[in-house]
Amino acid sequence: MTNPKMGSQATLFPAPLPAKRPQPRYLAAALDAVADSARVAIDCETTGPQPTTAALTHVAFATSTRYSGFVHATEDTLARLPTVLDGRALVMHNAVYDLVVLTRHGVSLLHAPVDCTRVLSYLVNEHGAHDLKTVTQRALGHRGILGFREIPSAENIGAEAHARLMADKGRVDCEETLEVFEALEAYVRERPMLRAAYQTIERPLVPVLASMTLVGVPTDVARLEAHLIELECQVRTRCLHFETPPES
């Protein structure tokens, strides 16, 4: 029986897409455009890598691979998002991160249908990295739509310019996320075992993991410490047993 997972880029898609040339201009979408779309990609731009502490600065979105935009994370905009996104199928690359950040800022999407391209990438090929750049290269055969991968730091270009570049990067990331999702979803759809694993196990776990990240997991520290001491005693006893020479 062959393994349904793919072990190399060569087996990911029989006919890899050609390299995509950078597009100097692409259409900017207003947030209202989301209401007319069945599927929307979302990407949060924040101040740090930890979703439980990072501040949300912008929310980028894309309704197609050439139609995207971003909004500043103002109180009024965040208040609109649950209504605007209601009923849409959402796609995110690192959905647990984005769901946690949005929930902390008053936008709870934990009960919305969310697809995660990072999870799909791991399901299709568990080896290697699963950041968006790597997944785009592996699934689509090109390095991405625009060269936003190396952004100067805020210390070098100023906080305002940095924030604007990050917001534009979010737009591009959303477009790539949609394109990657379409390719991976098509691949999984043709493989019943992978499709079942994604739909019944991996996909439903995304909001669960986000909720666990938000509230934490209760831990009995005292019991764990006592168990650790017990394990250390057992290890020492067994080591001593193996080191003691047998009687002649």
Instruction: Say if residue 224's pLDDT is above 90.
Output: no
Instruction: Say if residue 49's pLDDT is above 50.
Output: yes
Give the residue from 141, 134, 167, 201 showing the smallest Cα distance to 45: 167
Instruction: Say if residue 38's pLDDT is above 70.
Output: yes
Structure tokens at 80: 């609109």
What pLDDT score does 14 carry? 41
pLDDT digits (tens, 9 = 90+) for 55-68: 999 899 999 877 88
More confident residue, 4 or 72: 72
Mean pLDDT of 47-53: 91
Q: Is residue 199 part of a domain?
A: yes
pLDDT digits (tens, 9 = 90+) for 150-205: 666 767 777 777 677 777 788 888 989 999 999 999 999 999 999 999 999 999 99
Residue 119 — pLDDT band, cuts 50, 70, 90? very high
* Number of structural domains found in the chain: 1
Asked if 52 and 213 touch (Cβ cutoff 8 Å), the reply is yes
Instruction: Say if residue 12's pLDDT is above 50.
Output: no
Instruction: DSSP for 155-180, please give it.
Output: HHH-HHHHHHHHHHHHHHHHHHHHHH
Instruction: Say if residue 85's pLDDT is above 50.
Output: yes
More confident residue, 159 or 106: 106
Q: Is residue 184 part of a domain?
A: yes
DSSP-assigned beta bridge partners for residue 148: none
- Residue span of the structural domain in which 115 resides: 9-219
Sorted by sequence, the CB contacts under 8 Å of residue 22 that are 6+ apart come out as 145, 146, 147
Instruction: Say if residue 213's pLDDT is above 90.
Output: yes
Q: Is residue 224 part of a domain?
A: no
Q: Is residue 142 part of a domain?
A: yes
Say how far apart CA 227 and CA 225 lie, in whole Å.
5
Mean pLDDT of 212-224: 86
Q: Is residue 185 part of a domain?
A: yes
Asked if 113 and 67 touch (Cβ cutoff 8 Å), the reply is no
Give the residue from 2, 180, 26, 23 showing the smallest Cα distance to 91: 180
CATH number, residue 117: 3.30.420.10
Residue 32 — pLDDT band, cuts 50, 70, 90? confident
Residue 36 — pLDDT band, cuts 50, 70, 90? confident
Instruction: Say if residue 15's pLDDT is above 60.
Output: no
What pLDDT score does 160 carry? 72
Q: Is residue 192 part of a domain?
A: yes
In 11-138, at which residue ranges do the beta strands (DSSP E only) sit? 27-28, 39-46, 56-64, 67-72, 89-92, 114-116
Chain centroid to CA 60: 14
Place of tokens 């991976």: 184
Q: Is residue 241 part of a domain?
A: no
Share of the chain above pLDDT 70, in %: 79
Instruction: DSSP for 80-95, please give it.
Output: HHHHHHTTPEEEESSH
Q: Give the amino acid at 22.
A: P
Q: Is residue 1 part of a domain?
A: no
Instruction: Say if residue 147's pLDDT is above 90.
Output: no
What pLDDT score does 76 carry? 92
